[in-house]
Amino acid sequence: MIDVKLLAQTKLVNVDKKIESEPLALASHAALKCYQAKSPEIGKTIDVKGRLFDVGHHTTLQHFYFTFDIEGIAVGDITFGLHLCSPFYNSDQRSGRFCAKMFLDPDFEKIEEYLQNFWPDLKKKKIDQILSYIKKGVGIYQANIFKATEIAKNLIRIERPYSSDSYIEQNGPKIAQEQLRMFISIIFPSGLDFTLNQSALSALYEAAWTPPMKYVTEQMVKLVLKNYPELSSMFREEKRRTNEWATPFQKPFKIGVKFKPRLKLLDLDGGNFIAPQPEIMHPIDKLHFLPETMENSVGRIKTEIEISVATMSQDQRHRTLRRGLPRFTGNFYLPPIPKDCGLADEAINLMREWLALLDKIPRSLGMIIAPYGAMVRYKKEGSFNALAHEQAKRLCWCAQEEIYHLGRLLRLKIEKEKGKSSLLKIFEPICYQTGKCGEGVRYCGRDIKIRKKENYFSERKV
């Protein structure tokens, strides 16, 4: 079962008198602050339900935060659940790069328990079919991980000539696991720290569209109300979504294998682009905070991309961008190392088995048993500042291979459209601009010296 803990919450400090309810006190203070000539006294409360919540004045509720420690939730219930829509959160999820042990020694009993708890109407035969499909993907992974690791190490030596032996030994297995996990189902468990303000928690509680999401948000609310029962009017059970939702399929489609992500440049709109200097963006990004780069917030780039579910999860990190509805395309993304292992047929067969299950089980479940390699297509757009924030490290070789190629594709499209435009500055990692690695001890080992005389944004396999 998913474990949800309340890890931390906003705490008022330097308050002499006892505050009965810190969330209500902060909301009241924020509301009174708007309409008084002097700062209101903290602790003085108004009718938050009647004057703020019920009438929709919800910015006043966004000063109090809750941080939850969530364990045992499926990767798919994060990617197609907690992270899908809401921009009002801060989240740190366990990296897929560091989960190799879980794939080598999987706990299928926990996965079976997950299925039984959240889809109790499933018959034993269906559960066995689902587990058989999941085990097939794990079997492909386990049968090829040693070979994939050796391929990864050799490719690091070729592509990153300044990599140390210790770097190769440490990162070869990680890169192999990262690329070979495309065969693993996203129902495998993960964990995250998840921070929401009051209004975001209320909205997510009402909007939850799958059984695990409904459970997680219910547990969050129970923990909050245990400490603050006076907030009960903000969590209305009768307003909760009753129907389920699942990511649709882009039709018509046929099963295929793709070896690169795909990108269309739909629109490039804007006036003068102000190229940021490295010190503006590294180590902290000040693009959205400086008046000198304010004009970059009205220029925009709109694209349509097709990427794996694994990379969609990475793509959700940058909340300065707007994204449309993702749709499964029927394609499977096969990165360079699994391709070198000769696993294209296995990818097709695994996709067929997954798709065959979809007509027999709830769609909300079918969505979260997809393989990491299943591809989705969606539109995304952002201002020049937002794109610069997103792309700052995407052409860094410490970024995973598919993310790198997505950034490279966009750079090539813009170069084709605008020539050697200053917009290309958006796609220059810190090492390209300065000749120094911005990752410190995580230096990838690539040859930085070639940046001014050779193709610095070349194809790569690892």
d(CA 2, CA 297): 40
Cβ pair 202, 225 in contact under 8 A: no
Cβ pair 138, 103 in contact under 8 A: yes
Beta bridge partners of 375: 308
In degrees, to the nearest 5, what angle opens at C-alpha 62 toward C-alphas 57 and 67? 145
Cβ pair 449, 161 in contact under 8 A: no
Q: Please tell me whether residues 413 and 445 are part of one structural domain.
A: yes
Q: Please tell me whether residues 116 and 18 are part of one structural domain.
A: no
Q: Please tell me whether residues 305 and 445 are part of one structural domain.
A: yes
Cβ pair 135, 142 in contact under 8 A: no
Show Cβ contacts of residue 206 under 8 Å, excluding neighbours closer than 6 positions: 236, 239, 240, 241
Q: Determine, yes or no, domain membership for 392.
A: yes
Q: Please tell me whether residues 12 and 123 are part of one structural domain.
A: no
Cβ pair 350, 137 in contact under 8 A: yes
What would the 3-class secondary structure string for the chain be? CCEEEEEEECCCCCCCCCCCCHHHHHHHHHHHHHHCCCCCCCCCCCCHHHHHHCCCCHHHHCCCEEEEEEEEEEHHHHHHHHCCCCCCEEEEECCHHHCHHHHHCCCHHHHHHHHHHHCCCCCHHHHHHHHHHHHHHHHHHHHHHHHHHHHHHHHHHHHCCCCCHHHHHHHHHHHHHHHHHHHCECCCEEEEEEEEEHHHHHHHHHHCCCHHHHHHHHHHHHHHHHHCHHHHHHCCHHHCCCCCCCCCECCCCCCEEECCCEEEEEEEECCCCCCCCHHHHCCCCCCCCCHHHHHHHCCEEEEEEEEEHHHHHHHCCCCCCEECCCEEEEEEECCHHHHHCCCHHHHHHHHHHHHHHHCCCCHHHHHHCCECCEEEEEEEEEEHHHHHHHHCCCCCCCCCHHHHHHHHHHHHHHHHHHCCCHHHHHHCCHHHHHCCCCCHHHCCCCCHHHHHCCCCCCCCCC
Cis peptide upstream of residue 120 (ω within 30 degrees of 0): no
Q: Determine, yes or no, domain membership for 460.
A: no
Q: Please tell me whether residues 69 and 202 are part of one structural domain.
A: yes
Q: Determine, yes or no, domain membership for 251.
A: no
Q: Please tell me whether residues 106 and 227 are part of one structural domain.
A: no
d(CA 462, CA 397): 8
Q: Determine, yes or no, domain membership for 462.
A: no
Residue 97, pLDDT score: 67
The low-confidence residues of the chain, meaning pLDDT below 50, are none
The CATH number of residue 33's host domain is 3.30.1360.170
Backbone φ and ψ of 74, nearest 5°:
-65, 145
Residue 98, pLDDT score: 64
Q: Determine, yes or no, domain membership for 457.
A: no
Q: Determine, yes or no, domain membership for 248.
A: no
Domain end residue (candidates: 168, 183, 198) = 183
Q: How large is the greatest C-alpha to C-alpha distance in the chain, in angstroms?
A: 71
Q: Determine, yes or no, domain membership for 458.
A: no
Give the count of domains, the chain. Answer: 3
Q: Determine, yes or no, domain membership for 244.
A: no
Show Cβ contacts of residue 451 under 8 Å, excluding neighbours closer than 6 positions: 431, 432, 435
Comparing C-alpha atoms, which of 387, 363, 403 is closest to residue 80? 363
Residue 130, pLDDT score: 98
Domain ranges, residue 103: 96-183
CB neighbour burial string for 109-146, b if at least 16 within 10 angstroms, e if fewer: eebbebbeebbeebeeebbebbbebbebbbebbbebbe
Domain end residue (candidates: 140, 163, 183) = 183
Q: Please tell me whether residues 291 and 219 are part of one structural domain.
A: no
Q: Please tell me whether residues 223 and 363 are part of one structural domain.
A: no
pTM of the model: 0.94
Residue 318, pLDDT score: 75
Q: Please tell me whether residues 444 and 359 are part of one structural domain.
A: yes
Residue 443, pLDDT score: 93
Residue 169, pLDDT score: 96
Backbone φ and ψ of 59, nearest 5°:
-65, -25
Residue 454, pLDDT score: 86
Q: Please tell me whether residues 277 and 294 are part of one structural domain.
A: yes
Q: Please tell me whether residues 272 and 289 are part of one structural domain.
A: yes
Q: Please tell me whether residues 26 and 133 are part of one structural domain.
A: no
Phi-psi region of 218 (alpha: psi -120 to 50; beta: other; left: phi over 0): alpha
